[in-house]
Structures are given as C-alpha cells and as structure tokens.
Amino acid sequence: MFAPVFAQLDAVLAETRHFWQFMPFSVQPDEWQAQYPALYQWLNSLSDEQMAELLDDPQALAFQLAPYIPQAQQLYRLSQVEGLARIERIAPKGLDIGIPGRKWQQLQAFNGALPALNLPWLEWCAGKGYLGRVLTATHQTPVVSLEWQQALCDSGAAAAEKLKLAMTFVQGDAFSADSEQYIHAGQHAVALHACGDLHVSLLQRVASKQGQAVSVSPCCYHLIRDKSYQPMSRLAQQSELALSKHDLRLPLQETVTAGNRVKNLRFVEVSFRLGFDSLQKHIQATDEYMPVPNVQKALLNDGFEAFCRWAAEKKQVTLPDNIDFAYWQQVGEQRFGWVEKLELVRQLFRRPLEMWLVYDRACFMEESGYQVTVGTFCDKPITPRNLLIHAELKQ
Ligand SMILES: C[S@@+](CC[C@H](N)C(=O)[O-])C[C@H]1O[C@@H](n2cnc3c(N)ncnc32)[C@H](O)[C@@H]1O
C-alpha cells in the first residue's frame, strides 16, 4: 500500500515548498539572506569541493541541511526505496549486437527485475526494440513493439529478423485511440524510459483494459501535454501541490552521470545567461528576470559578447555602445555561484519529488485493482532513472 508513504511525502513537500518550488535564476541572494539568515550563511561558507561532495551524497546533504530545514532527514528517509530482487537471465550470444554498453546493462537489469509471467509482451515506445529483443529471447514469448518513428521500427525489425526473434514492430502514436488495439488483457506491457505522458498513457490504458501486468521505468516527467502536472491517483488529486513543468524537471537534475565537459558547458551557458540578464536589467532599469530561448551550443564558443548580441536581438533589447562585457560576464559568473547554492538546496527535494510522482502512479494502479511494487532495478551509474513500477492485476 503506497497511500501512507505518499501522504507523508506529500505533506512534507507541501510544507517545505518555499525551499524548492521556485526558479533559482530569479531569486536574489538578499531575499534569502533576510528570510533564512543561518542557511544563507552556511551556503556561503561552502567551498566548491564541499558543494561537489554534498551534491554526490544525498544522505550527507540531508544531515547538513537539517539544522536549517528540520524536515531534511525525514525527506531523505521517505525517498529511500529498496533495490528489487533480480534474477540473472542469460541472453543468447550475439543478442547485444548494435546495443551500446550502458543500455545493454540497463536492459539486463530491467529484465532481471521483472517476474516471469509467461505472457506475450507489449513494448511501449520501443525505439529499436532493444528491450523487446531481450524479453522475447529470454522468456520465449512473443513481443509487439510499438514505436512512433518508422526508421526505428525498420531498424528493429531488420535486427529481429536477423536474430530470428518473435518480434512484431508497429509504427504508431502511443496517444492515439488507434494504438489501444495493441493493449490486451492477457499481456505483460512494458515501457523502459518512455517520457512523461507516454508511460502515463500506458498505465491508464492498461488499467482501463484491466491488463494482467505492466512494468514501467519512468523518465522525463516534464514532457507532458498539459501546462501543468495532472495527478493520476485520487490521493494526489487532493494534494495541495500544483506542479509546473519547471518543478517536474527537478527529479532529472543531477550530476551523477555528467562529465566535466557537461559541467563546464553548464557553467558557460548559465553564467552567460545570468550575465546577460543582469546587463538587460541595468539597461532597461527593471528587476524582472528575462528568460532567453535555447541557444545553439556552438554560439557559446564565440564568447560572452556574441551571446549578448544574439540574446539582445532575440529579445529585442537595444544594446548601447561602450558596454563593459568583461564586467557583466563576471557578474554572471558570480550569480552562477549563487544559483549553484540554491540548486544544492533543491537537490534535497529531487528524489523525494520523484518518489511523489512515482507513488502517484503506484497509487493510481492500486486504486485500479493492482498489486504494485516499486523499487530500483539498477544502480545510478547505469541510469539515474532507475525506478521500476510493476503492477499485476489482483486475482
Ligand atoms: C527515450 S526513448 C526510449 C526507447 C526505448 N524504450 C529504450 O529504452 O531504449 C522514447 C521513445 O519513444 C518514442 N516516442 C515518442 N513519442 C511517441 C509516441 N507518441 N508514440 C510512440 N512512440 C513515441 C520515441 O521515438 C523514442 O523511440
């Protein structure tokens, strides 16, 4: 029963929302200095090394934040989940052809965490059907793989033919009424890393058809068609929390798999954006944060001035002559430091918010008559989106 843990997480996330439900770019240091002086002082005392260590260690972060956010350790405890028991299912030789190493490890782990129900499979948003390939080969039951992109269907079908696997690819839109025809009661439906509404649509359709079993590993919670999050379970529908797409990005913001290059790119891009924002505030005599659209990463190599000229054109800001770009770049870099500190605080809520979303899905399946398990199917370095929701219709 996931309702009690959901209710606890919900209450704590609601009462602490001022620490995570905001846009870090638009919060000024003096606001926090006035509202949370002790926390502000602690954040400012941290060295870059200490910040990096805390980002990598959620338990230590919760411990360190507890004097300032009393719910910190409770949040950490509530977001802990068990690793699922796994069986090693040996795949036939050559099955991994064309599959990148880390993906292969994910597939093995995901398959190992699924019970063998001896049912045909439906693979939702299959890509090239890598998961379906492993499932049909190790369970000896056929798989139907639904995928939107024809090229991926073709590539998957060609591989399946070569490997002599019982796979059928269908090109289809997971959201269309037409794709419902592929969902049957006597089936085990799976979705590995189907984004946002795509895995939600599978859970809803399986529940409405009372399909026997469904297993999903959610990702990209923010990729939804509505403006804001639509809770699935009755419990979550009663929650005080209203989640924007920005909030829904929080569960994905972690640095475990980000290499130095990614971290550097982030430093350059974010500090350029913040430097430009400070500059435009100065020119236009405003306090309002100005968001700038996505930028081609190559433009960042042309330097801060080029970025500002591009952003000014996009946002129709007239830049006066004689701007001291070096100065505004430095302002941006300083603001980057502050944004990083706010992001460190928000990290405390990252996994709890993800668990809130996952338990919403679990509660929805329970409300629909299913026995549900939730746990991790692999360690984070293999994929940070390592949660698995498995639901089986109660007899
Ligand atoms: C993140 S990939 C996951 C692929 C695969 N399950 C895996 O783990 O490798 C998501 C897949 O969903 C597909 N997709 C996106 N929108 C879709 C839709 N409306 N209907 C069906 N598939 C869709 C994409 O083309 C992509 O192949």
Report domain extents, the chain.
101-253+353-393
The vertex-281 CA angle with 277 and 283, nearest 5°, equals 115
Which helix (H) or strand (E) element contains residue 375?
strand 370-376
CB of 301 within 6 A of ligand 1: the answer is: no
pLDDT tens digits, 295-352:
998 999 999 999 999 999 999 999 999 999 999 999 999 999 899 999 999 999 999 9
Pick the residue whose CA is nearest to atom 8 on ligand 1.
192
What does pLDDT average to in each consecutive run of 10 residues of the chain (395 residues)? 97 98 90 97 93 92 98 98 95 93 96 97 97 97 98 97 97 95 96 94 96 97 95 98 96 67 82 95 90 90 96 94 95 92 96 98 98 96 94 93
- What's the CA-to-centroid distance between 51 and ligand 1, angstroms? 35
Among 143, 147, 182, 225, residue to substitute to test ligand 1 (most atoms within 8 Å of Cβ): 147
CB of 183 within 6 A of ligand 1: the answer is: no
- What's the CA-to-centroid distance between 299 and ligand 1, angstroms? 30
- What's the CA-to-centroid distance between 126 and ligand 1, angstroms? 6
Q: Which of these, 304, 338, 295, 300, lies nearest to 324 by C-alpha position?
A: 304
CB of 192 within 6 A of ligand 1: the answer is: yes
CA 83 vs. chain centroid, Å, equals: 19
CB of 153 within 6 A of ligand 1: the answer is: no
pLDDT at res. 385: 93
CA distance 227 to 245: 7
Q: Count other C-beta atoms under 10 Å from residue 67's C-beta.
A: 11
CATH 3.40.50.150 fits 101-253+353-393, yes or no: yes
- What's the CA-to-centroid distance between 88 and ligand 1, angstroms? 26
CB of 130 within 6 A of ligand 1: the answer is: yes
Pick the residue whose CA is nearest to atom 10 on ligand 1.
194
CA distance 58 to 293: 32
Which residues, listed in sequence order, are joined to residue 191 by a DSSP beta bridge? 216
Q: Count other C-beta atoms under 10 Å from residue 26's C-beta.
A: 14
- What's the CA-to-centroid distance between 147 and ligand 1, angstroms? 6
Q: What share of the chain is helix, strand, coil (3-state, %, to 5)?
A: 55, 10, 35
Q: Which amino acid is at 120?
A: P
CA distance 191 to 390: 11
- What's the CA-to-centroid distance between 373 and ligand 1, angstroms? 24
Q: Count other C-beta atoms under 10 Å from residue 119's C-beta.
A: 18
pLDDT at res. 56: 87
Alpha helices by DSSP H, 123-259 = 130-139, 150-163, 196-209, 234-237, 245-249
Per-residue tokens: 58? 């959620």
